[in-house]
Every structure is written in structure tokens, then in C-alpha cells.
Amino acid sequence: MQEGGQQKSTRASQEAKPAKVPLDTLDSTPPNAEIDDPFKHLPEHEKEILKRQLDLPAVKVNYMTLYRYATRNDKIILVIAGLAAIIGGALLPLMTVLFGGLAGTFQGFTLGNTSPRQFTSELARYSLYFVYLAIGEFVMVYIATVGFLYAGEHISSKIREQFLVAILRQNIAFFDELGAGEITTRITADTNLVQEGLSEKVGLTLTAIATFVAAFVISFIRYWKLTLILSSTVVAIVVTLGAVGSFIGKLSKTYIAHFAEGGTVAEEVISSIRNATAFHTQEKLARQYDTYLIKAEKAGFKLKSTTSSMIGFLFL
């Protein structure tokens, strides 16, 4: 009986063993994509929503896209501030014209070509011109600065609000690739850069362009030969700004990215400070945070040194 039972169990175990299949007949093709699809159990409309949330396309944003959150009042303020910045920039070259006329008046009085009474009258006239020019310049620059700062602050606050709304609307899997403090760092750092680009940078750019054009017009009218000789410096300035500008942009992105990563570490450590204290990992976490600060410091040093070198080269 025992031998018969053992034979039956041996036969059953042999039948239970799978048949050996030659290796060359095995199918090495990968499984179907539909089998590995994590959304296969969902309806089509829900599947499309999740894929649209997780697959983020590359969006190209130009400079004018930043003004899409501007209201009608913001646009009116921007137009008024832009006109004031242009007028303020065009008034600056007039100071050199007045200064040249004043220097000529002093020269004429020194050489004896001008009487004391006439010299006093010319001196009072040029002094009034300087006062009027200073008042006009102050008013135009004040209007441009206040207008651009107000509009830039209002638009950047709208951008922060819409950014937070878009973040809260994302799927939970979107936050798996982001750190705890990266979102807050992006909201503060990136929107501050946007605010600078929408406010003071625009005013300074319009003022500089107006000054450049007005100075060229006045120079060609006063003495065109000397102006034509000095125009060669414009080519050097444009080439320098074009060559170094893109490099400065890359360094600025790297600088902000390192700060965002460091902010993520700090946010996670502070949120779980009890665990860090219990396991005595303060020094290790501090060194980890310090590595990101060192990287940001190096990128910031390269950024500042490159910018200062460019400015120094322009003043040569």
C-alpha cells in the first residue's frame, strides 16, 4: 500500500511539472502596450483627461504673452507710462545741447566777445532752461516709473493666482516629480523676474531707446562728421550684447534652479523636523542643503561676473 501511494504521488508530481520548452521557441517579443497601460480600466474620456494632465507639452511663450492677464486699465496705464518713458528719454540729450551753449557763453565772456550785461542775461536764460528741463524730466520719469510698477505688480499678482490655480488643478501624479518647496520657490522667484520684466525693465528700455535715437538725431544735426565716426561703437555694443546676452540667460536659469532645489530640501526638513531631530540627521541635511547653496553661489558668481564684465567692456 505504501509503495502504491508513493508511485501515485510520484506520477502526480511529474504531471504537475511543466513541460520543458526549447529556448529557441520562446517568444521574446515584449508584452502588448495595452496590457501595461495603467489607464486600461478607465473610460475613454477619463483616460484622455489623465493623459492630458500627465503629458505636459512644451509651450512656447513670447514676451507679449505675459500681458494677457492685463486689464483695460492696465493697458491704458502702460501706454501712458510708455509715452512718458519715451519723452523722458528724449529729453536727456537736450541737456548736452544746453550745456554746450552755456559753455559757449562762458567762452565768449572770457574772450571779451560778450558784455557783462549780455553774459548775465544769457546765464539766466540757460539756468531757466536747465530748471525747466529738470522739472520735465522728473515728471516724465516719475509717471513712467509709477505706471510700470503699478501695472507690473497687478499683472504679476494675476500670474501668481493663475499659476496656483493651475497647480491645484493638476493630477496627484504631477507632484511626484516636484519637491515640497519647489512650487513656492517658483511662485516667488519666477514671478519676481516676470514683474521686473514687466515694470522697470520696460521703462528703462524705452527710455534708453528714446535717448539713443534723440542723441543720434541731435548729433547728426549739430555735427554729422563726428557722429558718423562715433557710430562705430554702436556695432561693438550690439555684438557684445548679442554674444553675452544668451549666456547670461542660461546662467540665470541655472541660478534659479539650484535655489529651487535647495528650497525643496529646506521645506521637507522643516516639515519633518521631529524625524530629523530623532535620528540626529541635522548635520547631514544641513550639508545637503549647503551643496545646493554652493552650486547657486557658483552660478550667481558667474552670472554677476559675466554681467559686470559686459558692462565694463561697453564703457571701454
What is the per-residue pLDDT across 10-57, written as a single tens digit (0 to 9) for each?
454 444 444 444 444 444 444 444 446 666 777 887 777 777 766 666
Nearest Cα neighbor of 180 from 102, 265, 120, 68 is: 265
Question: Count of residues for the chain?
Answer: 316
Q: 98: which 3 cell numbers?
A: 544746453
**Residue 63 burial class via C-beta count within 10 angstroms: exposed 0-12, middle 13-18, buried 19 and up:** exposed
Q: 229: which 3 cell numbers?
A: 565716426
> With contact defined as beta carbons under 8 Å apart, do 296 and 259 qualify?
yes
Q: What is the pLDDT of residue 177?
A: 66
Nearest Cα neighbor of 89 from 214, 176, 189 is: 214
Q: What is the pLDDT of residue 207?
A: 92
Q: What is the pLDDT of residue 57?
A: 64
Handedness of CA 274, 280, 282, 285 (dihedral sign): negative
Q: 97: which 3 cell numbers?
A: 545741447
CA–CA separation, 91 vs 97, rounded Å? 11
Residue in the structure block whose three cell numbers are 513712467: 144
- The tens place of each residue's pLDDT in the chain, 316 residues long, gives 444 444 444 454 444 444 444 444 444 444 444 446 666 777 887 777 777 766 666 667 777 787 888 889 989 999 999 999 999 999 988 888 888 888 888 888 888 787 888 888 888 898 899 999 999 999 999 999 999 999 988 888 888 888 888 878 777 766 766 666 667 777 777 788 788 888 888 888 899 899 989 988 888 888 888 888 878 777 778 887 777 877 888 888 888 888 878 877 887 788 788 888 888 888 888 888 888 888 888 888 888 888 888 888 777 6
